[in-house]
A and B are shown apart, each in its own frame.
Chain A
Amino acid sequence: MNAEGERPILEARGLTRRFGGLVAVDNFSFSVREGAIHGLIGPNGAGKTTTFNVISGFYAPTAGQVFFRGLDISGRKTSTLAAMGLVRTFQGSTLFQEFSVLDNVRVGRHLGARARFLSRLLGTDRSSEREADAKALATLAFFGLEDLADEPVSNLPHGHQRMLGMAVALAAEPRVMLLDEPFTGMNPEETRRMMALVRRIRDRGVTVMLVEHDMQAVMNLCDVITVMNFGALLVEGIPEVVRNDPAVIEAYLGSAAANGVNDAA
């Protein structure tokens, strides 16, 4: 038995997901240590996004289990997982585009701002709502977006929208955050700032698991990297080991993403 600190906070065992005849994820296992920044990489079509969708409850696994803090969470609803502390973000600018910046984060405070139906009606939820607003503003300040609180989201540049997506997730006070391609479409300067933010989120005690194509960023940021190919585990280890693993290099050189590894190496 491992010590308490050694127990993985998030773990997959023999995870499999089929779509008809296609096996998108094939007997895939990994484990994420608490407090780590854990990267999940692989060539296009390796099954990363499907894995994320299974972990976050959008798809039920065909076989295998996902454990979160030692509990089998396979097939549970996304909203239930969020309440347990497992919150994901989405690719691109998936936001409530019609809302103001602050209202986006207020929705993210859903779990923290509970009130009875009747107190919503009578307005006696005011104190908990004020607290939710304060926390939402504090979350915006963490991302340096507090001056934009009243702006409509559609006015925000792409980089800010990506940060807001993380702010919405962070407002739900997760223990593990799943980031789906946080650096895609960013210039090097934006990527650098985003990496610093991910580190600061980890420093707040949130374990981070991310799917990403930007090899440079993944190698610099992650403590542990899991590489998957054809839906299955290829290698798992620290960046230095993964970078020089012949199986990884072969997997990437055999695909269009090969130059990513060359850049990193």
Chain B
Amino acid sequence: MPGAGTGRLVRRIAWQLRLVFLFAALAVLPYLLSYSQQEIAVLLVINVLLVSSYRLLTLTGEWSLGHVVIMGVGAYASALLAKRLGVPVPISLLLGGGIAAATAAVLSFPLFRMKGFYFLIGSFAAGEIIRLIWKRFTEPFGGPKGLKRIDAFPDIDIGFLSIDFYEPVNYYFLALIVVSASLFVLYRIERSRIGLTFHAIHWQDRLAESVGIDTFRYRTLAFVIASFFAGIAGGLYAHYVGAVNPTRFGVDQMVYVLVWAIVGGTATFHGPILGVVVLTVINEIVLRALGLDTARPLIYGAILILSVLYLPKGLESLVPRVRERVRRWRSGPAATGEGAG
């Protein structure tokens, strides 16, 4: 085909341009928001990483109910390392991710003896055990009250430039950088042969095993990577809010992650991100304006049911339709008549 190479180049440049615009928009965004909305934006960025890391695990076909607890493992670990051992916060964040990943590696031995529904319940039980440990052992976990006065990110002060991370705007940019880098890694993993292997295990694990794929090892790998980034999300949360407790990482929080993932759709990389962004906007802006924000569980439940009934493939399934609309609108009425989804 003539021009296939240039076509690819054009598409690549278009894609890069879109990324540039996206980051430009994300850079301007906090200045358009109120102080409390900026705080929400920080949590939203952290939740994007939480739900995107969750999706990596779902690529292998397994859905966990322990992902938020794993996020908590990262949060507690990073907080304790900074508070007790004086580890500098950026390093404690990475170590927190590492400890979350190590926890997942240990848990995978009992958990990946199970599949499907049994794995789901097993992951829930494992998560509850971890939460009970936090509650039971006041030393060092602080018991039911959790940890308070967790060290914040150290201020950056190099003469001409001083950044105070107590300011939500500044923390927003910090989180944005960490989360973007993490998403890039997650994306690369999915687009590599590792991603292909995860999908293969999802669709036909016996066939995958028969051509030499150690399905246990790859399920563990997905769980460990997902947990590492959930742990990073937890650390970002802990050092921003300054306090963590066992309730914050309870199963109700996990249900929100599931709702984001299901409403957004998990077939594409952007699906869960779409889910968390749209639902957060609905929740924090629309409902808050209407004074209904305390009804979040009710509204989320309704949205979940409606989306399962009327949009079973998630918000992500709207993207090609919207793109088609835009394309037609651009090329004018002459180009109508082509089949659209």
Contact = CB atoms under 8 A, between A and B. Distances in A.
Interface of A: 56, 58, 77-80, 82-83, 87-90, 94-99, 103, 106-108, 110-111, 113, 115, 117, 120-123, 125, 129, 132, 168-169, 171-172
A95 B204 CA distance: 7
Nearest to A85: B212
A117 B215 CA distance: 16
B214 A107 contact: no
A103 B189 contact: no
A78 B209 contact: yes
Contacts of A111: 211-212
A123 B187 CA distance: 12
A94 B205 CA distance: 10
B203 interface: yes
User: Chain B, interface size: which category?
Assistant: 20 to 34
A123 B192 CA distance: 8
Contact of B212 (A106, A110, A122, A132): A110
B206 A98 contact: no
B208 interface: yes
Contact of B207 (A96, A113, A129): A96
A98 B207 CA distance: 14
A106 B206 CA distance: 16
Given A94-B206, A99-B199, A168 B211 contact: yes
B107 interface: no
B214 A77 contact: yes
A107 B189 contact: no
A110 B212 CA distance: 7
A121 B196 contact: no
A245 to B, nearest CB: 33
Contact of A107 (B188, B192, B206, B211): B211
Interface in B259-314: none
A94 B210 CA distance: 11
B210 A87 contact: yes
B189 A79 contact: no
Contacts of B185: 121
Top 4 A-B pairs, shortest CB-CB distance: A82-B212, A120-B192, A111-B212, A79-B214
B200 interface: yes
Contacts of A121: 185, 188-189, 192
A169 B189 contact: no
Contacts of A123: 188, 192
B213 interface: yes
Contact of A106 (B196, B210, B214): B196
Given A82-B212, A95-B207, 12 more contacts: A79-B212, A82-B210, A87-B212, A95-B204, A96-B200, A97-B204, A99-B200, A106-B193, A111-B211, A115-B193, A125-B193, A172-B212
A90 B210 contact: yes
B177 interface: no
A101 to B, nearest CB: 14
A38 B140 CA distance: 65
A83 B209 CA distance: 10
B113 to A, nearest CB: 14
B194 interface: yes
Contacts of A103: 196
Contacts of A106: 193, 196
